[in-house]
Amino acid sequence: MMRLAANCVSWPRHRVSELIDMIEHERDITQKTFKHAIGPESYRDIEAGLGYGECPGLTLGNDWSVTFHSGNLAGQRVYYVRHSGIEYVFTNDGTLPGAPA
């Protein structure tokens, strides 16, 4: 299971160039691939955290404003969802790769 590490709004300023590079080289993936990559628990968490379930019939997977992606961040494969222009990045341990412990 992968965990949410950060979103672009809370991204460390000194690492913005890494975020830009990740986005510029992103790979579009399906909702199914994203859900499988991050795991069902993390998927439920992000879906609930973004307010899905409050509007009957609207889900993360069928929202027109949502896209799913994979990319590389500091040499690590990451997966992210772009919701209304904000990237929510998932990593293996829930921290940004290359960040100090």
What are the tens digits of pLDDT across the range 63-94? 999 999 999 999 999 999 999 999 999 999 99
Residue 4: pLDDT band with limits 50, 70, 90: very high
* pLDDT digits 0-9 by tens, 26-37: 999 999 999 999
The sheet with strand 76-83 has its strands ordered as: 3-7, 86-91, 76-83, 66-73, 27-29
When divided into structural domains, the chain yields a total of 1
Whether 98 is covered by a domain: the verdict is no
Whether 27 is covered by a domain: the verdict is yes
Residue range(s) defining the domain that contains residue 7: 3-91
Whether 97 is covered by a domain: the verdict is no
Whether 73 is covered by a domain: the verdict is yes
Supply the DSSP string of 24-70, one letter for each residue.
Answer: HT-EEE-HHHHHHHH-HHHHHHHHHHTTTTSSTT--GGG-TTEEEEE
